[in-house]
């Protein structure tokens, strides 16, 4: 009986994996077919700086730049804060209060992105404009900071779970060697939880890359790379904000629509590539500890 149940479970897992793979391949196939007109007609001209649909100019580099810069800055802000907060809630905060703090953070993670976007437009963009003496606070920097606030609860919650689930025996052995509390965390707890922490960061990265409404409301929606390129206080555009704002304005089966779908395909390829790279990194890290 147990052997039969084991075979059924194994078959279920294999079928689920195959279905997942087929769904991903179907999505890629549909995106490629829908963007074929833009690829065939534009070629490498798609990777230029000018986006002007009336003149059949569909350069996606400004949107690609905006997506990467906003995502990287948001992770730079949110990841250290998230990990340090998770260490505090899991290792330092009294267990009696941990459940309340964790519940509050999980509630923040469930707030719809449009709410963050409205708060960003009404308050945060105004503060940024006043702080840096700008005509408009809707900038790349504003979008990045708002996005870091949005992904912070996800990072904290998942990192807290990863650190909290490290077996207690490792802490006891480290304390038995005479290590202080911070040394136990640095040398024993964090290395063991490293894989799960990286998984939490990857999940936050996926949300950051795919976020649309909040970013669209505060980034300014200008299809240009700032001058100079490191000027984060200039308005910009991301792939998702561009799709959210303009996809309804493009005629189905037109070159314009095809170029928009091509941007979506590029975004999906970036996410898949980052996931593959992260998996290889995790495998190499596991081999070091074997």
Whether 170 is in a domain gets the answer yes
Read off the tokens for 149. 């606030």
Whether 67 is in a domain gets the answer yes
Check: CB of residue 73 under 8 Å from CB of residue 81: no
Positions in the chain whose pLDDT score sits under 50: 285, 287-289
Cα angle for residues 98, 149, 73 (degrees, 5° grid): 125
Whether 27 is in a domain gets the answer no
Q: How many domains does the chain have?
A: 1
Give the pLDDT confidence score for residue 287 in this predicted structure. 47
**Span 75-134, pLDDT tens digits:** 999 999 999 999 998 888 888 888 888 888 878 878 888 888 888 888 888 898 888 888
Check: CB of residue 62 under 8 Å from CB of residue 237: yes
Domain of 67, CATH number, reads 1.10.3720.10
Give the pLDDT confidence score for residue 282 in this predicted structure. 58
d(CA 22, CA 36): 21
Whether 272 is in a domain gets the answer yes
Whether 77 is in a domain gets the answer yes
Give the pLDDT confidence score for residue 19 in this predicted structure. 93
Whether 198 is in a domain gets the answer yes
Give the pLDDT confidence score for residue 247 in this predicted structure. 84
Distances (CA, A) of 24 to 18, 58, 266, 268: 10, 26, 14, 10
Long-range contacts of 164-170 (CB under 8 A, 24+ apart): 164/90, 165/193, 165/196, 166/192, 166/193
The SS3 assignment for 254 reads coil
Cα angle for residues 25, 30, 36 (degrees, 5° grid): 120
* DSSP letter string, 175-220: HHTT--HHHHIIIIIHHHHHHHHHHHHHHHHHHHHH--HHHHHHSB
d(CA 157, CA 165): 12
Give the pLDDT confidence score for residue 283 in this predicted structure. 62
Whether 226 is in a domain gets the answer yes
Give the pLDDT confidence score for residue 288 in this predicted structure. 42
Exposure string over 88-113, b if 16+ CB within 10 A, otherwise e = ebbbebeeeebeeebeebeeebeeeb
This prediction has a pTM of 0.84
Check: CB of residue 147 under 8 Å from CB of residue 206: no
d(CA 134, CA 126): 9
d(CA 206, CA 203): 5
Check: CB of residue 189 under 8 Å from CB of residue 195: no
Q: What is the CA radius of gyration of the chain?
A: 23
Whether 6 is in a domain gets the answer no
The SS3 assignment for 231 reads coil
d(CA 27, CA 254): 20
Burial of 220 per CB tally in 10 Å (0-12, 13-18, 19+): buried
Range of the domain at 253: 35-288
């Amino acid at each position: 009986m147990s052997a039969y149940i084991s075979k059924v479970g194994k078959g279920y897992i294999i079928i689920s994996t195959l279905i997942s793979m087929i769904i991903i391949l179907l999505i890629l196939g549909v995106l490629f077919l829908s963007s074929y007109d833009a690829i065939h007609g534009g070629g490498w001209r798609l990777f230029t700086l000018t986006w002007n649909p009336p003149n059949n100019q569909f350069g996606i580099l400004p949107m690609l730049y905006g997506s990467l810069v906003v995502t990287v800055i948001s992770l730079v802000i949110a990841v250290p804060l998230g990990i340090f907060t998770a260490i505090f809630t899991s290792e330092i905060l009294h267990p009696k209060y941990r459940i309340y703090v964790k519940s509050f953070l999980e509630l923040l993670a469930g707030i719809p992105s449009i709410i963050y976007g409205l708060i960003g437009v009404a308050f945060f963009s105004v503060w940024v404009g006043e702080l840096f003496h700008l005509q408009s606070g809707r900038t790349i920097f504003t979008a990045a900071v708002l996005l870091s606030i949005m992904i912070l609860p996800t990072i904290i919650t998942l990192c807290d779970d990863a650190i909290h689930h490290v077996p207690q025996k490792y802490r006891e052995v480290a304390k038995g060697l005479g290590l202080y509390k911070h040394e136990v965390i640095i040398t024993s707890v964090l290395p063991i939880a490293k894989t799960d922490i990286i998984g939490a960061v990857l999940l936050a990265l996926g949300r950051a890359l795919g976020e649309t409404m909040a970013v669209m409301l505060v980034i300014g929606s200008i299809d240009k790379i700032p001058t100079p390129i490191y000027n984060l206080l200039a308005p910009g555009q991301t792939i998702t904000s561009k799709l959210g704002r303009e996809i309804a304005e493009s005629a189905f089966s037109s070159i314009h629509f095809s170029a928009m779908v091509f941007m979506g395909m590029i975004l999906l390829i970036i996410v898949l590539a980052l996931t593959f790279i992260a998996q290889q990194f995790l495998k190499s890290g596991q081999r070091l500890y074997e």
